[in-house]
């Protein structure tokens, strides 16, 4: 990804976090900045699109194995009605993609690429689906590359007249993304033979986006890093931890005290609805509730815990006194410090199950992700000692079977 394009998207994430926070912001200034960022981003993307279209002769396989069309092969527009209908026939009836499209659509690990029109709808729904995906940073780096990440932020210091300041070098670490395949079965009914193209694409968009969004969000929270992205809570030695025997006001104040001031903006609570409802019943010394539910945009409730936004998920246990010292039930984290690396290049494979004679349809996406900064992480965990239980399953992601490590 273009470095400046990454910076623009990162800045947009910061602006969004500032707008979603409770602090005062200069709306006019932010709107003007967003306008300039949008214009610059559009120009960069147009330049990259033009550059990608320049014919440099024979090229090797792309990042994910897509084969480039040979000079003597005729390819057609993958956004055309012809290809969209051909793709529908491939998914519904198992009819092979016509030869004129095959050079541009066949990949090393899937039968056909989803038409751009449909894929754009899938991506749009993925980016807005759920509570977690819209908050993380998204990149599209090639797998295997070492991407630099800042480990230390420079600090300004006062110096006497004529004196020199200590030279500070912003040290960089690196993060390398792997090449994991996220697969999900796509349900298309037998009646789809009589389905219109628009109805078929609606079904594909809904099934793929929802299934993959759930798997991605679960991996972001507690992925093992083996055959799937690395989750935020995988390593409990990172960040700060608080053992909790009983929920109370001090649970929140102790956790808030561990969040560095520099990470206040954008850091959110993540917990289950069951845990949040336990906080709803509590009040502070003045008799005011420490948890609130406000009417949000489009009727979606906004939950707040002592002024900090709460993101609900189903991938953690509800708090209970029986939770052990290996059970994370809630945490605070600045979600933009988690990087999800994928180009959303979703493809489809159709094959016949020899046992049932049914057509099996699988959708495949290449993705990886991991936290790049743990400074804002505060984990709330149980306080009981597990007896005779090894910690193999605590952070295991039930959706692991959806991911496949591709070396």
SS3 per residue for the chain? CCHHHHHHHHHHHHHHHHHHCCCCCCHHHHHHHHHHHHHHHHHHHHHHHHHHCCCCCCCCCCCCCCCCCCCCCCCCCCCCHHHHHHHHHHHHHCCCCCHHHHHHHCCCCCCEECCHHHHHHHHHHHHHCCCCHHHCEEECCCCCCEEEEECCCCCCCCCCCCCCCCCCCCCEEEEECCCEEEEEECCCCHHHHHCCHHHHHHHHHHHHHHHHHHHHHHHHHHCECCCCCECCCCCCCCCEEEECCCCCHHHHHHHHHCCCHHHCCCEEEEECHHHHHHHHCCECCCCCECEEEEECHHHCEEEEECCEEEEECCCCCCCCCCCECCCEEEEEEEHHHEEEECCCCCEEEEEECCCCCCEEEEEEEEEEEEECCCCCCEEEECCECCCCCCCCCCCCCHHHHHEEECC
- How open is the CA angle 374-241-339, to the nearest 5 degrees? 25
Rounded distance between C-alpha atoms, residue 381 and residue 221, angstroms:
15
Residue 62: the pLDDT is 39
Other CB atoms within a 10 A radius of the CB of residue 140 amount to 15
Q: Does any domain span residue 85?
A: no
275: confidence class by pLDDT, cuts 50, 70, 90: very high
**Residue 404: pLDDT above 70?**
no
Res. 68: pLDDT tops 50: no
Question: In this structure, is residue 254 part of a structural domain?
Answer: yes
Domain presence at residue 30? yes
Is 182 within 8 Å of 345 (Cβ atoms)? no
The residue from 11, 27, 48 where one domain ends is: 48
Q: Of the candidates 339, 109, 348, 373, which has an alpha carbon nearest to the alpha carbon of residue 229? A: 339
CB 287 within 8 A of CB 281: no
Domain that holds residue 20: 1-48
- Which residue(s) pair with 309 in the sheet? 304
- Asked if residue 91 is part of any domain, the answer here is no
Q: What backbone phi and psi angles, to 5 degrees, belong to 103?
A: -60, -35
Task: Determine how many CB atoms are found less than 10 A away from the CB of residue 145.
Answer: 11
Per-residue pLDDT at 248 exceeds 60: yes
Is residue 260 one of the residues assigned to a domain?
yes
- pTM, 2 dp: 0.63
Average pLDDT over residues 7-17: 78
Give 66's pLDDT tier (boundaries 50, 70, 90): very low
pLDDT of residue 56: 55
CB-based contacts of 180, cutoff 8 Å, min separation 6: 227, 228, 229, 366, 367, 368, 403, 404, 405, 406
Name the residue with higher pLDDT: 111 or 372: 372
In a domain, 89, yes or no: no
Per residue in 298-342, pLDDT tens? 667 889 998 899 999 999 999 999 999 999 999 999 999 999 988
Least reliable range by pLDDT among 60-64, 178-182, 352-356, 360-364:
60-64
Tell whether 128 is covered by a domain: no
Query: Looking at the 3D structure of the chain, how many domains does it have?
Result: 2
With a cut of 50, say whether residue 71 has pLDDT above it: no
Residue whose C-alpha is closest to residue 320's, from 371, 269, 382: 382
Is the backbone of residue 150 left (phi > 0), alpha (psi -120 to 50) or beta?
beta
The reported pLDDT for the residue numbered 150 is 52
> Are 246 and 300 in contact, with CB atoms under 8 Å apart?
no
Kindly tell me the sign of the dihedral angle through the C-alpha atoms of 269, 320, 233, 124: negative
**385 phi-psi bin (left φ>0, alpha ψ -120 to 50, beta other):** beta
Residue 364 maps to a domain: no
């Amino acid at each position: 990804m273009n470095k400046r394009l990454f910076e623009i998207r990162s800045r947009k994430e910061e602006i969004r976090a500032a707008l979603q926070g409770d602090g005062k912001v200069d709306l006019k200034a932010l709107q003007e900045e967003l306008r300039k960022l949008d214009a610059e981003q559009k120009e960069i993307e147009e330049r990259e699109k033009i550059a990608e279209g320049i014919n440099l002769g024979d090229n090797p396989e792309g990042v994910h194995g897509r084969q480039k069309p040979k000079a003597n092969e005729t390819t057609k527009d993958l956004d055309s009605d012809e290809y969209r209908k051909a793709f529908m026939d491939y998914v519904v009836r198992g009819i092979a993609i016509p030869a004129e499209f095959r050079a541009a659509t066949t990949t090393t690990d899937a039968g056909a690429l989803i038409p751009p029109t449909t894929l754009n709808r899938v991506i749009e729904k993925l980016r807005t689906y759920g509570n977690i995906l819209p908050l993380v940073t998204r990149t599209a780096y090639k797998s295997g590359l070492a991407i630099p990440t800042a480990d230390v932020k420079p600090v300004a210091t006062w110096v006497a007249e004529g004196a020199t300041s200590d030279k500070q070098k912003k040290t960089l670490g690196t993060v390398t993304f792997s090449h994991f395949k996220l697969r999900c079965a796509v349900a298309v009914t037998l009646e789809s033979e009589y389905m219109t193209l628009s109805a078929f694409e609606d079904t594909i968009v809904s099934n793929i986006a929802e299934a993959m969004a759930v798997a991605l969000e679960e991996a972001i929270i507690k992925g093992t890093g083996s055959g799937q992205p690395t989750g935020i809570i995988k390593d409990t030695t990172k960040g700060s931890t608080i053992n909790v025997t009983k929920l109370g006001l001090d649970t929140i104040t102790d956790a808030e005290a561990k969040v560095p001031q520099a990470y206040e903006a954008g850091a959110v609570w993540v917990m289950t609805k069951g845990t949040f409802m336990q906080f709803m019943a509590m009040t502070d010394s003045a008799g005011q509730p420490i948890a609130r539910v406000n009417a949000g945009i489009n009727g979606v409730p906004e939950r707040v815990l002592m002024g900090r936004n709460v993101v609900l998920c189903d991938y953690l246990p509800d708090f209970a006194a029986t939770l052990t010292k290996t059970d994370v039930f809630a945490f605070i984290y600045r979600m933009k410090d988690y990087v999800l690396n994928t180009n959303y290049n979703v493809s489809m494979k159709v094959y016949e199950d020899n046992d049932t004679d049914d057509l099996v349809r699988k959708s495949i996406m290449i993705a990886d992700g991991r936290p790049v900064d743990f400074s804002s992480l505060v984990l709330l965990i149980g306080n009981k000692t597990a007896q005779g239980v090894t910690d193999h399953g605590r952070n295991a992601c039930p959706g692991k079977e959806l991911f496949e490590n591709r070396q």
